[in-house]
Chain A
Amino acid sequence: MRRVAVIDYGMGNLRSVSKALEAVSADQAEIIVSADPGTILSASHVVFPGVGAIRDCIAELKRLQLDQVVIEAAGSKPFLGICLGMQALLSHSEENHGVDALDVIPGEVKFFDKPVADNGDKLKVPHMGWNRVHQTCDHPLWQNIEQDSRFYFVHSYFVSPADPAVVAGTTPYPDDFAAAIYRDNVFAAQFHPEKSQHAGLQLLENFVNWDGQS
Chain B
Amino acid sequence: MGLAKRIIPCLDVDAGRVVKGVQFVDIRDAGDPIEVAKRYDEQGADEITFLDITATHHERDTMLHVVEAVASQVFIPLTVGGGIRTVDDIRRMLNAGADKVGINSAAVKNPDFVREAAERFGSQCIVVAIDAKQVSAEGEPLKWEIFTHGGRQPTGIDAVEWARKMVDLGAGEILLTSMDRDGTKSGFDLDLTRAISDAVDVPVIASGGVGKLQDLSDGIKQGHADAVLAASIFHFGEHTVGEAKQQMASQGIEVRL
**A158 on interface, CB distance cutoff 8 Å:** no
* Interchain CB contact (< 8 A) of B97 among A13, A131, A132: A13
Across-interface contacts of B226 in A (CB, < 8 A)? 124, 128-129
- Whether A124 and B201, one on each chain, are in contact in the complex, defined by CB atoms closer than 8 angstroms, is yes
Across-interface contacts of B2 in A (CB, < 8 A)? 117, 131-132, 172-174
Q: Mark B70-100, 1 if CB is under 8 A from A, else 0.
A: 0111011100000000000000001111010
Complex interface residues of chain B between 188 and 216 (CB less than 8 A to chain A): 201-203
* Interchain CB contact (< 8 A) of A129 among B75, B95, B125, B227: B227
- Whether A129 and B203, one on each chain, are in contact in the complex, defined by CB atoms closer than 8 angstroms, is yes
Report how many residues on chain B are interfacial, defined by Cβ distance under 8 Å. Answer: 34
Across-interface contacts of B122 in A (CB, < 8 A)? 51-53
Across-interface contacts of A65 in B (CB, < 8 A)? none
A45, B208: Cα distance in complex, Å: 45
- Whether A195 and B203, one on each chain, are in contact in the complex, defined by CB atoms closer than 8 angstroms, is no
Complex interface residues of chain A between 9 and 37 (CB less than 8 A to chain B): 13, 15-16, 19-20, 22-23
- Whether A125 and B202, one on each chain, are in contact in the complex, defined by CB atoms closer than 8 angstroms, is yes
**Number of cross-chain contacts by CB at 8 Å:** 100
Most buried by B among A132, A172, A201: A132
Interface locus among A73-81, A147-155, A181-189, A206-214: A147-155
A132, B71: Cα distance in complex, Å: 24
A122, B202: Cα distance in complex, Å: 11
A117, B94: Cα distance in complex, Å: 33
- Whether A15 and B97, one on each chain, are in contact in the complex, defined by CB atoms closer than 8 angstroms, is yes
State whether A127 and B3 are in contact (beta carbons under 8 Å apart), knowing that A15-B71, A51-B122 are contacts in the complex: yes
- Whether A129 and B1, one on each chain, are in contact in the complex, defined by CB atoms closer than 8 angstroms, is no
A172, B254: Cα distance in complex, Å: 14
State whether A156 and B123 are in contact (beta carbons under 8 Å apart), knowing that A132-B1, A150-B256 are contacts in the complex: yes
Complex interface residues of chain A between 159 and 214 (CB less than 8 A to chain B): 172-174, 192, 194-197, 200-201
Q: What are 6 A-to-B residue pairs whose CB atoms are below 8 Å? A: A16-B99, A19-B97, A154-B77, A156-B124, A195-B75, A196-B76
List 6 tightest A-B contacts by C-beta distance, closest first.
A52-B122, A19-B72, A130-B256, A154-B124, A130-B4, A131-B3
